[in-house]
Structure 1
Amino acid sequence: MTAERRFADPEHLAALARAAFGHGRRLVATEPLAGGTKKGVYRLAFDDDSTAIVYSWDPDSHASGFELFEAARAHLDAVGVRSPQVYLADRSRAHFPADVAVVEDLQGPNLETLLASDPAAASAVMDRLNAALGRMHADLGPAYGKVALVDAGDRPIGSSCEQVVLDNALADLAGAASRDRRVAKAHDEFADVLRLLASAVGSRTAYGLIHGELGPDHVLVDSDGAPVLIDIEGLMFFDVEWEHAFLRIRFGKHYAALRREDLDRQRLALYRLAMHLSLVAKPLLMLDTDFPDHEGTRMIAEANLVQAFGFLS
């Protein structure tokens, strides 16, 4: 039995609830929520109708999710960007066999749902999200990498952001070419375009604070209409063009509210192609597994392949 399963036991969750809130409220229900391969997520429900969320990080992960979470939260707090309020953060294993945090449960719609159901309300949140991103991206670090590693003075991987992106894009291209004959046929042309785009990128020595995977599903909305960022463990100092390449894909027609005109266009072009190739390669790889939503996964790969081929015309 893994530490994650032991931690998810109701007795462990009850002990965690007592550690976070004392004996003033009684835990009446627990619910597992969608998390990730390295993080378990649970909802705690209490007898006074209040709720809270538990994050539990895989203790076997090579990089401590808890440390990444704590560092990310500190940096977001410093620039005035909301993430869920933390009631308890503990890695002592005194109550449960995993690093954990008990945080605020924002049960309203996420921004993705709000954009579809209430465009007027979503527009105000988008404006506030744009302002929050402006504060983040203006917070510059001396090196690139996840904030916990930069804070610790660790040496970054690779020689530059653009070199890291290029290397990963070439690896994604090779992976996609091994699974799709259209990519295989155009492999050399894609590789040439990637290298040409990378060669046009100038050097840079300061890096903005970015979320890294900020889709509208990673933005909750609090009772005051403020955006609240979740899944923040990937927070890093990196080129803000990487963030915008992702924002453009994930926000689609709504991206106009977040667009910036002062970005490095050569860098953005490289990162957009790299992002599309990643979103071809990874879904194609998932199709070789027992991942349940094959149709949706194939649609993601096809949509991004169309966008990638646009760089060859």
Structure 2
Amino acid sequence: MRQFTEAEALSGIVHEALGTGVHVVGVDRLRGGSKKGVYRVHVDGSRPTSVIIYSWAEAENFWPTTEGSDAADPFAPASGLVPFLAAQRRLDRLGVRVPGVLLADDSRRRYPADVAVVEDVVGGTLEALLKKDPARASGALSELAAMLEVMHQQRSQQYGRVDVLERGDEASGVSCEQLVFERALGDLAEAAERDPRIGSAAAPLHDRLQELATRVSPRTEHGLIHGELGPDHVLVDASGHPVLIDIEGLMFFDVEWEHVFLQLRFGEQYPALSRPGLDPARLDLFMLAMRLSLVAGPLRLLDGDFPHRAPMQEIADHNAKEALALLVQ
């Protein structure tokens, strides 16, 4: 059984971030993380009265280990202090609101894992606000659209995760569209073994992926994308401004990949985030690839002991149906 951290273990890192006069009075492990632990730590004797701690301990990562995975692959699991700090610095320089970093520590002196203490944005998620107060959420949604425009207008001839490019390495693969295509073939094969509906349609899905891939023309510039931006990965601060979280996967890539994910996750709210000039051929390929990824990924996660099993199964089931529906369009 997995052992997560407790208040006593977090005290040392909190004292280092906020001072020795601070006392930890409560710790809540926040639900939702599958690659890192996220803890809200309540303190007295300090302003702020709470902080968030990210822990990249091995026990916090529910994803199965992938033997021989390429760390330079833009789709490799994006987790760890290094990609987090690289993304935080880049977005902060652009004026894109992200939680402020109070302390980052990879020394393991006070805590047995890489850890970061960050600002606690206490306004909740945009996802919750869209349900609770759509009028207030519309302002945050408009600001989010402006933030995304700033990000997507950043240009690079290279694609890849920000931390990979910062250290002078090159991402694997020959193009974004080829990476997506090859990944989709792998996701299709994996999903076909786990879901009978996908298995029975594996051949036509394979042919459809190949057909869509041949329609995509080469591209030489890429934009800066979050990579997994749903309304649950946007917090809203006390003033109603959006704040991006789960930013470790920040990368230069085809912006259509971001927009496909935005379309899936924001649904009827997506028009507020859409933009002209997107490549329809990329959108078509990326949509089917994304659907297959959202079948294979959740089912892979369920091979382990991830606790919130029903929502993951629902994601896989829904996207299997949507992937099959794309065959008849």
Tell me how far 1:291 sits from its aligned partner. 4.6
Does structure 2 retain, via aligned residues, the 8 Å contact 1:57–1:100? yes
Does structure 2 retain, via aligned residues, the 8 Å contact 1:169–1:277? yes
1:47 is aligned to 44
1:58 is aligned to 57
Tell me how far 1:301 sits from its aligned partner. 2.4
Does structure 1 retain, via aligned residues, the 8 Å contact 2:198–2:324? no
Cα displacement string for residues 194-224 of structure 1 (whole angstroms, at most 9, x for unaligned residues): 1111111111122111111111000001122
Does structure 1 retain, via aligned residues, the 8 Å contact 2:237–2:243? yes
Does structure 1 retain, via aligned residues, the 8 Å contact 2:36–2:57? yes
CA distance in 2, matches of 1:233, 1:271: 21
CA distance in 2, matches of 1:213, 1:64: 13
Q: Identity percentage over the alignment?
A: 52
1:159 is aligned to 174
Tell me how far 1:9 sits from its aligned partner. 4.2
Tell me how far 1:182 sits from its aligned partner. 2.6
Tell me how far 1:130 sits from its aligned partner. 0.2
Distance 1:117 1:35, change over 3 A: closer
1:32 is aligned to 29
Distance 1:11 1:297, change over 3 A: closer
Of 234, 251, 261, the residue aligned with 2:266 is 251
Of 251, 254, 271, the residue aligned with 1:239 is 254
Distance 1:111 1:64, change over 3 A: closer
Tell me how far 1:178 sits from its aligned partner. 1.5
Of 202, 208, 231, the residue aligned with 1:193 is 208
CA distance in 1, matches of 2:126, 2:42: 24
2:110 is aligned to 95
| Secondary structure class of the residue paired with 1:15 | helix
| Secondary structure class of the residue paired with 1:311 | helix
Distance 1:9 1:302, change over 3 A: closer
2:314 is aligned to 299
| Secondary structure class of the residue paired with 2:277 | coil
| Secondary structure class of the residue paired with 1:310 | helix
| Secondary structure class of the residue paired with 2:29 | strand
2:156 is aligned to 141
| Secondary structure class of the residue paired with 2:326 | coil
Tell me how far 1:14 sits from its aligned partner. 1.4
Of 19, 26, 29, the residue aligned with 2:16 is 19
For 1:51, the aligned partner's letter is S
Tell me how far 1:303 sits from its aligned partner. 2.2
CA distance in 2, matches of 1:170, 1:125: 37
Distance 1:92 1:295, change over 3 A: closer
Cα displacement string for residues 77-134 of structure 1 (whole angstroms, at most 9, x for unaligned residues): 1211011111111222232222211111112121000000100001110000000000
Does structure 2 retain, via aligned residues, the 8 Å contact 1:90–1:101? yes
| Secondary structure class of the residue paired with 1:96 | coil
Does structure 2 retain, via aligned residues, the 8 Å contact 1:79–1:139? no
For 1:13, the aligned partner's letter is L
Does structure 2 retain, via aligned residues, the 8 Å contact 1:126–1:257? yes
Distance 1:64 1:234, change over 3 A: closer
For 1:261, the aligned partner's letter is P
Distance 1:164 1:33, change over 3 A: same
Does structure 2 retain, via aligned residues, the 8 Å contact 1:179–1:284? yes
CA distance in 1, matches of 2:267, 2:224: 22
Of 82, 98, 112, the residue aligned with 2:127 is 112
Does structure 2 retain, via aligned residues, the 8 Å contact 1:59–1:99? no
Does structure 1 retain, via aligned residues, the 8 Å contact 2:122–2:238? no
Does structure 2 retain, via aligned residues, the 8 Å contact 1:277–1:308? yes
Note the aligned Cα RMSD (angstroms).
2.3
2:68 is aligned to none
Does structure 2 retain, via aligned residues, the 8 Å contact 1:242–1:268? yes
Mean CA deviation greater in 22-31 or 280-289: 280-289
CA distance in 2, matches of 1:38, 1:305: 24
CA distance in 2, matches of 1:288, 1:104: 34
